Structure 1
Amino acid sequence: MKIKILVCIYTIYQLSFFLLLCSSFSAFSQEKKKKDDEFDIRNYKLEPADRLIIEINHTSWLGYPSTIKTKLPSVGMNIALMFDKPIGNSNFCFGYGIGFFSHNFHSNADFVYVKDTINNSFTTRLEPFTRAVSLNRYAEKILEIPIELRFRTKTDRQFKIHVGGKIGYVVNNFRSIRDNDGKIRLYDIKNVNPLRYGVNFRIGFEQFAISATYYLSEVFNKNKGPGDIHPFAIGLAIIPY
């Protein structure tokens, strides 16, 4: 009887030791998993970034008449102030804000107005200049609202992609012409479509990216000027913070 009691006590002791060992191992595993999760960057939310964007671009048109020749350089600038809202703990953010785009088109194009005597209106045509000019620039100043979906890696050196769209309004437009007689500036060019909307794209690392913009809207009002002419820009984006 005494031996049976000792055997039972020993068995209970072994079982208790085994259960304690299993419990300790389970607690250790859970603690390790908790610490691993704590230091897993995938579980952290992105910090807001890319809030100031400065783009230096080559700006031009697509679809202009074949008789028109562009001239280089044709430099424009875009400045945007953005809000950056991370989406959960993902690598994606939602960006929106306000921007100002200075878009230029250097060419040999003269803006010729043809009068419609029946409707008492003017239609714009683009024709090559018949005299020598050293400067011929058409410029637009566009106030814009950009909206973007952004991707950033959670690494020390961030790789980023921005894809979005923008809508804007041409608040000012003019032509600058310089010839042998001097320089003149002509404002409020007729038949220009004031509405601008299009798509934009950026890809890069850290504070630098390649940027591109294509406007789906046409330069001139429908049936008031050459059709299917669309502005575009491609260049370098500097993103300080």
Structure 2
Amino acid sequence: MKRFVVVILFFVFGTLYSQDQSVKEIDSLYKEDHFYAGITYNVLVNKPSNVKQSGFSLGFNLGFIKDMPVNKSRTWAIGVGLGYSANSFNENLLISKSNSGEFNYSVIEDKETYNKNKFASHLVELPIELRWRTSTPTDYNFWRIYTGFKLGYSFVNTNKHKGDLGDFKYNDNPDFNNLQYGLTLSAGYNTWNFHLYYALNPIFNNDAQLSGSTIDMSAIKIGLMFYIL
């Protein structure tokens, strides 16, 4: 009976060991492919005089990033992904449309004259990252710093106003820059990560003018990024 128990235990532990070895062999070539989701607070910079943000301007993004390690220990990698982003900006820049179809820009001085005034965008995005992390084949909780570049194409742009001037919404404004791009940084531990996006080009093109000057304001997005294996 004792010999039988010894044989069984030897077989069980031998099987577990061989399974563990096979797992390690597979995991030795692990990749940190990730689904990601993030939420940001959107800040307008380089604003024209008297243009101010109001309320809380939110951004949301999600997608998938393919991980391509570049060193033997797999602590460094290149990440390339595809994602979706939605962003809104609450402010006092009035975008109105004339009877001829031309879009005009002005500043609403009295905030008591409107309930809502914002513009928003929906983008398809291509993030490219240089990734550093302390991960190992068996450790899924690790520090990370991902920095890179994000290219986005805005397929829907809208502006909405509700106030004394009436309620109106437009989604055919050609003055938005459909191509958006900027620098990114994500850093943190495990699932919770600080995220920063710094736009390198303005939200509007040169056709958008306020008092004869181009509207060169751009966006900085600050928030949290969640990575899911």
Say whether 1:125 aligns with 2:113. Answer: no
**Contact persistence 2:95–2:103 (CA under 8 A):** no
Q: Secondary structure at the match of 2:48?
A: coil
Specify the alignment match of 1:191 in structure 2: 175
Match of 1:171 among 152, 155, 167: 155
Specify the alignment match of 1:232 in structure 2: 220
CA distance in 1, matches of 2:163, 2:218: 28
2:53 maps to amino acid: T
CA RMSD in angstroms comes to: 2.9
Larger radius of gyration: 1
CA distance in 2, matches of 1:50, 1:129: 48
CA distance in 2, matches of 1:218, 1:235: 20
| Farther-moved stretch of structure 1 (81-90 vs 98-107) | 81-90
Specify the alignment match of 2:69 in structure 1: 86
Say whether 1:71 aligns with 2:63. Answer: no
CA distance in 1, matches of 2:172, 2:207: 18
CA distance in 2, matches of 1:135, 1:121: 22
Give unmatched runs, 5+ long, in structure 2.
1-23
Give the alignment's TM-score, normalised by structure 1. Answer: 0.72
CA distance in 2, matches of 1:65, 1:57: 23
Give unmatched runs, 5+ long, in structure 1.
1-40
**Contact persistence 1:50–1:84 (CA under 8 A):** yes
CA distance in 1, matches of 2:106, 2:149: 29
**Contact persistence 1:54–1:78 (CA under 8 A):** yes
CA 230–180 in structure 1, closer or farther in 2 if over 3 Å, else same: closer
Say whether 1:62 aligns with 2:45. Answer: yes
**Contact persistence 2:183–2:199 (CA under 8 A):** yes
CA distance in 2, matches of 1:123, 1:186: 10
1:134 maps to amino acid: N
CA distance in 1, matches of 2:101, 2:161: 25
Deviations 1:59-101, CA, capped at 9 Å, x for gaps:
1321111201111211110112111111131411111111111
Say whether 1:109 aligns with 2:93. Answer: yes
Specify the alignment match of 1:144 in structure 2: 125
Say whether 1:201 aligns with 2:181. Answer: no
The number of aligned residues is: 196
